[in-house]
Copies of this chain bind each other. A is one copy, B any other.
Amino acid sequence: MNRKELVNEISTKESFLCVGLDTDISKIPTHLHNHPDAIFEFNRAIIDATKDYCVSYKINTAFYESMGMKGWEAMEKTLYYIPSTHFKIADAKRGDIGNTSAQYAKTFFEVLPFDAVTVAPYMGEDSVKPFLEYENKWTIVLGLTSNIGANDFQQKKLADGKTHLYEKVLSTVAEWGTPNNLMFVIGATKAKDLADIRKIIPNHFLLVPGVGVQGGSLKEVAEYGLNTDCGLLVNASRAIIYADSSNDFAVTAGKVAKEYQIEMAEYL
């Protein structure tokens, strides 16, 4: 999916919501547990209930890998079930030396039809470049994450005494791609930092996790993060998919997604 198509979807649906399918077998409703393909059945119901209110789905590969072969199969089935109108993100946080990153890029962009994959920046340019070589595919590089561990290295200041490591990551990585094939992960718990971040990368889309369970404010994210093309994909995972553990889990997930969409429409 290219930028224009993504922006059109956002504008048509008045939503920049990404639903995170962090599907954990221990957290899905008990009545599904006996189903031979419980993870996929859960995801299918969530997708059916939320697809009108979101423009993207994010599959966190960790939750599928931890189920071995069966998990990989459920991930594939889920991916093919997501409508072609929706932007499909592999939240995999990969990154290795060049020839190995090329294998990861092949995995998510050729073997699996994802639109985007999240990538860690620590290993530098040759670890990110292989992902950027695919047309109409997106690389989403970790900038400032929403977890407490972001303070350990990302927030450290560099030799000039002013620039934080994550700011250096943003400005450096921005030169390796374009706003048409590169996005950044910026955690919502640092919403006020978005104003400064927008000075460094005004045009890029930002994938913003941490709204909901992790405590970020959608209003602040929109206030400091929106640009003329929207430029935001706000992700909610647990706040939507685990909103209700009863038989009505999908109905409730749809309601919560709709609430996000209505609030997002106000800000657009």
Contact = CB atoms under 8 A, between A and B. Distances in A.
Contacts of A125: 148-149, 152
Interface centre among A65, A73, A128, A146 (most CB of B within 10 A): A65
Given A120-B95, A157-B159, A69 B66 contact: no
Contact of A104 (B62, B107, B120, B158): B62
A122 B153 contact: yes
A22 interface: yes
A132 to B, nearest CB: 13
Contacts of A106: 66
A134 interface: no
A148 B106 CA distance: 22
A147 B127 contact: yes
Interface size class of A (residues with CB under 8 A): 35 or more
A32 interface: no
A72 interface: yes
Contacts of A41: none
B104 A126 contact: no
A103 B66 contact: yes
A233 to B, nearest CB: 17
10 contacts: A22-B100, A69-B76, A97-B147, A120-B120, A123-B154, A124-B145, A124-B153, A126-B147, A127-B147, A157-B158
